[in-house]
Structure 1
Amino acid sequence: MVSFYHFDRMNQVQPEPGEWSNYFQRFLDGQMLYGSWYDHVGNWWNKTKTYPKLHYMFYEDIAEVIYLVEPLPEDKKTIVELVHFDNMKNNEMTNCSKRPFFDFSISQFMRKGKVGDWKTHFTVAQNEAFDEDYRSKMKDPTLRFRTEI
């Protein structure tokens, strides 16, 4: 939700997201430009069951591999270097810096790359509300988001 909020702030072709607390509630209510985030994510997750080449990759999974201390095989080492946040942030193909409708003075497309940064936005009450909302709307127990490493 935090990433989506900052993306909406800098994306000049979408409606202004407004203040965080209002955005938070609209997100829970599914009143986003393209509908419910839960439906979007859940539908794609379901497709991974019938399309074996479709792979969900979570940022926390990437970050965990990047910071492993054990040596990696050469091909994995190359991939890890390519998906390292700093490398992606400096790559025009991934940082979207050539897109004229993104206002980078508001937020960068590749913003922080910090696992757990959501904690700087959510209040305790919002975290509890989100967790309850997530449990009630995301019915597939195999879809588990990580929020820490």
Structure 2
Amino acid sequence: MDSSKSDYYENFGRIQGILMYKDFLKYWSDVETFQARPDDIVIATYPKSGTTWISEIVDMIYKEGDVEKCKDAIFNRIPFLECRKEDMLNGVKQLKQMESPRIVKTHLSPELLPVSFWEKKCKMIYLCRNAKDVAVSYYYFFLMVPVHPNPGTFSEFVEKFMDGQVPYGSWYKHTQSWWEKRNDSQLLFLFYEDMKEDIRKEVIKLIHFLGRKPSETLVDKIIQHTTFQEMKKNPFTNYTILPEEFMNQKVHSFMRKGISGDWKNHFTVALNEKFDMHYEQQMKGSTLKLRTEI
């Protein structure tokens, strides 16, 4: 293995064969043994799939559209379950100290999600985004978060992405394993592209799933507060509160474009053809269909 390859894996380890941040793995037993409460809500996504957007919407539903109650960093209101950086960031600790009902953020696949969430029949929301846009967003995330190695060129990174050599492993396995649970009454499976196309319809769907009653006023407030433009300038959702050592927004902002179809600005014709062929192999037999543009 040459030095560039070993450098790439320096801050990563594996859990059940899936690439993961070493800092998270150091305390993995805390994650595995985490005790869910029956009224917990789990927001699960593969990284860079609209996690912050869906999280803010769900929190606004719980806060009944009161923007004032959302004035704290999103990672405090909705702790990141498996996130751990010594004592500075500790999702498990944050969640244990929270009053119910808790909203839990995770990027874990169903197999890695603490078993107590399944046993307590907690409601779960999974947001899925097309693989090409995820790859683009993940590439930029690698560039701005110092724990990541240099991703190389975009096409080099896409190769790693296709091979599942990124934190949380294969996008194909992750999305399909959650898709297989879509008929479970405790899970709501949503698509990023549907949210971009008709946010009102998806917000109403979420409100119903969470056992609330939608009112026009509430839906309007949520839609207004969670537009990309609003969230990009909101210090409680744009991650500017985090120190530079965790997220360097001088490289570029955490909230970059928030659109569907940006992959067209990054994939060459050759890379796109290669990706499509690989995608077809990986998704063979799957009923999960995604739109790559709206």
- Class of the TM-score when normalised by the shorter of the 2 chains: 0.7 to 0.9
Give the gaps of 5 or more residues in structure 2. 1-134, 202-214
Residues 95-134 of structure 1: per-residue CA shift (max 9 Å, x gap): 1112221111112111012321110100112122222222
Distance 2:239 2:171 in 1: 22
Q: Is the 8 A contact 2:200 2:223 kept in 1?
A: no
Letter in 1 for 2:156: N
Higher helix residue share: 1
Distance 1:89 1:110 in 2: 6
Q: Which residue of 2 aligns with 1:20?
A: 154
Partner SS for 1:55: strand
Q: Which residue of 1 aligns with 2:269?
A: 124
Scaled by the length of structure 2, the TM-score of the pair is 0.44
Distance 1:82-1:47 versus aligned 2 partners, 3 A rule: farther
Q: Which residue of 2 aligns with 1:74?
A: 217
What percent of counterpart residues are identical? 43
Letter in 1 for 2:197: E
Distance 1:79-1:102 versus aligned 2 partners, 3 A rule: same
Distance 1:48 1:102 in 2: 33
Scaled by the length of structure 1, the TM-score of the pair is 0.82
Deviation for aligned residue 1:18: 1.6
Distance 1:102 1:22 in 2: 22
Aligned to 2:254, which of 109, 113, 120? 109
The correspondence of residues 21-60 of structure 1 with structure 2, limited to 5 A, is 21-58=155-192, 60=193
Aligned to 2:289, which of 120, 126, 144? 144
Distance 1:89 1:123 in 2: 29
Q: Which residue of 2 aligns with 1:64?
A: 197
Q: Is the 8 A contact 1:92 1:98 kept in 2?
A: yes
Q: Per chain length, whose mean CA-contact separation is higher, i.e. which structure has more relative contact order (CA < 8 Å, sep 6+)?
A: 1
Distance 1:111 1:67 in 2: 23
Letter in 2 for 1:83: T
Residues 66-88 of structure 1: per-residue CA shift (max 9 Å, x gap): 599xxx93332222213211111
Task: Give the length in aligned residue pairs.
Answer: 144
Distance 2:236 2:194 in 1: 21
Letter in 2 for 1:84: T
Give the gaps of 5 or more residues in structure 1. none
Q: Which residue of 1 aligns with 2:226?
A: 83
Distance 1:144 1:81 in 2: 29
Letter in 2 for 1:77: D
Distance 1:34 1:66 in 2: 27
Distance 2:181 2:233 in 1: 32
Question: Mean alpha-carbon deviation: is it higher for 32-41 or for 96-105?
Answer: 32-41
Partner SS for 2:166: coil
Higher strand residue share: 2
Could you say what the CA RMSD is over the residues aligned between the two structures, in angstroms? 2.4
Partner SS for 1:9: helix
Q: Which residue of 1 aligns with 2:75?
A: none
